[in-house]
Each structure stands twice: as structure tokens, then as C-alpha cells.
Amino acid sequence: MRHYRVHREGFEVFAVVRQPKGLNLFPIVFVLVGLAIASPRLLATGTPQDASNSDLSSSFRCPEDYPSSEAKQAALKEFMRAYAAKFPDNNVRDLMVYRYRLLVAHSCIQALQSMLADVSPFSEMLSLQNRDYGPKTEEFDPATKVWTIYFRKDGEPPALSDQGLIFNFYGWKPATSPEAIAQAFVSRRDNVQILGKFQAPDDVTKAPAYFIVSETVYPGQTFGYVNISKITSVGSGAYTVTFSKKIAGSTSADAAEKGKAWFLSDEGQKISHAIDRVGVDTAWEEYLSKAPRK
């Protein structure tokens, strides 16, 4: 048995491993408010265009560069009008992805951070540690009644994705507490090994939150996953945000050891701190209540 000790902002995590085993700088809601000004053809199916060398990019300014919310809203409406004129066959999702690419191209750090601290149902792309995640995909499990929202790195398909941000929403009727979800998670008896866990205030909402570091290993496979999760509340319900990273090895035991080493590395610790600062918008409750459950 090995013990790892990791210090994180005043909290001490003891990882026991058994062998072998809000901010509002980017006014995303204005996209919805301003949809009426866009051409109806903007709702058609389309494909996102490259944003790096366009005329829209040359006139683009970061949201944090505007002096007031009114100025930001006016600039966003003008951007939407110009986008609809340039790409009349594209849809709203295309617009969101395109705008995200402009935020990245112009190094709009405050806007990108605010999007991660207030992930809304209309977020299509997220930036974490200078990497792009999304566009998002949604999945409903009729057996568990849980919604899972995936933001895979660089939009890779599931079979090729080696890391991603995953949001699980557990419903509001009846409400499920973060504590109950955390207890169920650490009590699992499948392929999940718990490396560490602690409770602390959510860095975004200050509500109670449960932080769990786990590893998923598959006997006979030469890879596994390290998972850094925060379980906390949203409205009257609960959700989990997880960063999951695939770790390859020569054997399943080797992958497990490499996964532990990655979590203790500088990269792993930076990701862990970043997950502390992820938050979601309360609009998810209404959005998911109306979403098709395929």
C-alpha cells in the first residue's frame, strides 16, 4: 500500500492506492436576446468557418475591452448581423463555435475564463489550460435519468478522444444532494479506484462541494483513465464536472501507475486546480427539462 500526500490551497489530500489494483464578462445570454436580429437563414444547418484570417476577425474586440455591458451587447449584435450576412447558411451552433475561435485568436483570457466559470446550456466550446474542448454533445441515460454533456478535446470522436470535460446532471425532481452522489461514487465496486477525496466550499458558488480523484482501469487492457471530479449543487439539484484523461501503459497495472504519476505532476495539479473553478449556469434545469430524451 502506498500513500501520496498532495497539498491544495490549504487542503491536504491523502491518496491511498492499493496494489496491484460567476463572472459575466462574456455576455452569452445576449446571443439569445439578440437572435431576433439575425437572418432566419442563420438557423439552417451549416459548417463552422475558419475564424483566423477573416474580416470579422480584424474588427473583433475582446468583450473585456468594452467599457460597459451596453457596449458589449451592441458589439455582439453587430457581430451576429455581420456573421449572418457572411455565412447565411450557417446555424447558431456554428456562430458560437466561430465566436469562440475569435476569443482564442485574440487572447480574450477574461472572457474564456468567465465562460468556464459559468458554463451555460448554450456553451459550445470551452478553454481549459490553453486547450480547446468541444463542440459539446449531449446524452441522456433513461435508466439512471442522468444527463451527460461531453466537451471532448478538439472535438475528437469518442474512440479517438484521450481527454475531455464531462458534466453530469442528476435532476431536480426529486432533488439529489451532492453528498449522496459523492457517497455513491466512492462506494463503487467496479473498475474505479479512489485516489483521494475531500470536501471544501465550491470555489465558484461557495456551496459545499466534494472533490474526488479516481482512476478507471480495465483488467487486460493497456490503458486507463484518471478522473478529477467536483460534485456540487446547481439550483435545487446537483451536478458533477469531471476532467478525464486517458493514460496508456504496457499493461493495465503500468497504466494505473502512470495515471497516479500524472495526477501528481505539475500538469495534473494545474488541471485539478482549474476544475475547482468550473461552474454552471442555473439555466440547465429548464434547458434539460425540455431537451429531447433519445
Summary mean pLDDT of the chain? 82
What is the pTM (predicted TM-score) of this model? 0.81
Q: What is the DSSP letter of 108?
A: -
Residue 285 phi, psi dihedral angles, 5° rounding: -60, -50
| Distance in angstroms (rounded) separating the CA atoms of residues 13 and 269 | 12
The band of 9, judged by pLDDT with boundaries at 50, 70 and 90, is very low
| End-to-end Cα distance, the chain | 44
- Cα distances (Å, whole numbers) of residue 154 to 126, 258, 264: 10, 23, 25
The band of 22, judged by pLDDT with boundaries at 50, 70 and 90, is very low
User: Is the per-residue pLDDT at 290 higher than 80?
Assistant: yes
The pLDDT value recorded for residue 213 is: 96
| Distance in angstroms (rounded) separating the CA atoms of residues 160 and 249 | 17
> Residue 197: enclosing H or E segment and its boundaries?
strand 192-201
Q: Which three cell numbers stand for residue 237?
A: 439539484
- Cα distances (Å, whole numbers) of residue 119 to 41, 101, 244, 251, 271: 27, 17, 18, 37, 17
Per-residue model confidence as pLDDT tens digits over 244-271: 999 999 998 999 999 999 999 999 999 9
Higher pLDDT, 75 or 28: 75
Per-residue model confidence as pLDDT tens digits over 43-64: 343 444 566 557 899 889 999 9
Q: Which three cell numbers stand for residue 138?
A: 449531449
Residue 60 near residue 150, CB atoms below 8 Å:
no
Per-residue model confidence as pLDDT tens digits over 79-92: 999 999 999 999 99
Q: Please confirm whether the linkage preceding 135 is cis (ω < 30° from 0).
A: yes
Higher pLDDT, 178 or 176: 178
The band of 173, judged by pLDDT with boundaries at 50, 70 and 90, is confident
Domain ranges in the chain are 2-22+118-290, 29-113
**Pick from 217, 229, 221: nearest CA to 260:** 217
| Distance in angstroms (rounded) separating the CA atoms of residues 25 and 69 | 8
The pLDDT value recorded for residue 31 is: 38
Q: Which three cell numbers stand for residue 205?
A: 458558488
The pLDDT value recorded for residue 191 is: 85
The mean-pLDDT minimum among 30-34, 204-208, 218-222 falls in 30-34
Most confident segment among 7-21, 39-53, 187-201: 187-201
CATH code for the structural domain at 2-22+118-290: 3.40.1000
**Pick from 127, 142, 37, 122: nearest CA to 81:** 37
Residue 194 phi, psi dihedral angles, 5° rounding: -90, 120
The pLDDT value recorded for residue 53 is: 59
